[in-house]
Structure 1
Amino acid sequence: MTTLLKTPLGIAEVSGDELGISKIEILDQEEFQQEEVPKELETAVDQLKGYFSGELKNFTLKMNPAGTNFQKQVWQALNKIPYGETRSYLELSKELGNVKAIRAVAAANGKNPLWIVIPCHRVIGSDGSLTGYAGGLWRKKWLLDFENPPLQQELF
């Protein structure tokens, strides 16, 4: 089952079934026709709406992403990165117990099938740079700014 959801970053396609959400991806399309949300996807849609409204910081969805054991291990590590924080690929590799696995960690990060829910956007380069992001670097920057807005400076 799938449904579409309009977000500030474009149209998201949410897929899943009674076993959990298997895929959330951002589409490069502007228009879509609103459809009834299948019962199995209602929680995911509600939580995504809550995230984008600023009311939800932690997803509690039943997830069922397809991937290798290593990819799932990386995705579990990504889920531990708190809202508003970032980690480097090197830090993530160390956390997983293999500092030499940076490229494998980056590849698994890039294969993340659950856009936003598994927060791969929170992984940056060791030098603080925004590195590759399947949805486009502008979306990654938007998400990081959304989760950690700059402090308002006093004018006087």
Structure 2
Amino acid sequence: MSFRYDFAPTPFGDALAVFSDAGIVGFDLSEAEDPSVPWLLENFSRRLGVAPGPDPGAADELAHLLAAYFEGEPIRFDQRIRFDWRLVDGFARSALQAVCDIPWGETMSYGEVAVAAGSPGAARAVGTACRLTPLSVIVPVHRVIRSDGTPGHYGAHPERKRFLLDLEREAGSRS
């Protein structure tokens, strides 16, 4: 199995996209505003057990989908590109796969996702899965909110969560 990486533009800066032969393994924009990302590659290398090699153009299809998404098109990434879930297992994987089913412009609470993933009462575990996802944005963890209806955090960037929720709400109201 080979692993490679490329970058894809987002409104938050270029994001690191890591691919395997089976599909996208990781999409990380946690520090996208910082153009030097060696520690991100080191993190993926450690988790994969091998260093991904550069592959300019590998993220072209993803970049096209992201551009459409950020223009307000309701893209469901898991139906348009192959996901390689190797960095997520157990309940976290079930939770993130349930998150993929949240429709564009809608939200679910952490508890509702826990129920959808087959583990009622595992709301905190859903929160952990969302926080640690290796597939930020393309697994729409921003659609998972607190039970009181407030957005909650999005890693260290709650403003990004608000941006994504607003993007989907505004695009939906134009339809």
TM-score by length of 1: 0.84
Please, which runs of 5 or more residues in structure 2 have no aligned partner? 37-54
Are residue 64 (structure 1) and residue 84 (structure 2) matched? Answer: yes
Equivalent pairs counted in the alignment come to 148
1:30, distance to aligned residue in structure 2 (A): 4.8
> Residues of 1 paired with 2:101 and 2:7: CA distance?
27
Query: Using the alignment, how far apart are the partners of 2:97 and 2:89 within structure 1?
Result: 12
Pairwise mapping of residues 1-156 of structure 1 onto structure 2 (< 5 A)?
Answer: 1-26=4-29, 27-31=31-35, 36-38=56-58, 41-59=59-77, 60-65=80-85, 66-134=87-155, 136-149=157-170
Q: CA deviation at 1:120?
A: 0.3
CA RMSD between the two structures? 2.1
**Structure-2-length-normalised TM-score:** 0.76
Counterpart amino acid of 1:42? D
Q: Which runs of 5+ in 1 are unaligned?
A: none
- Matched letter for residue 51 of structure 1: Y
For residues 32-72 of structure 1, the C-alpha deviation after alignment (integer angstroms, 9 at most, x for no partner) is: 7xx9313xx33222211221122342221100131122111
**Greater share of residues in helix:** 2
The answer (yes or no) to whether the contact 1:13–1:24 under 8 Å persists in 2 is yes
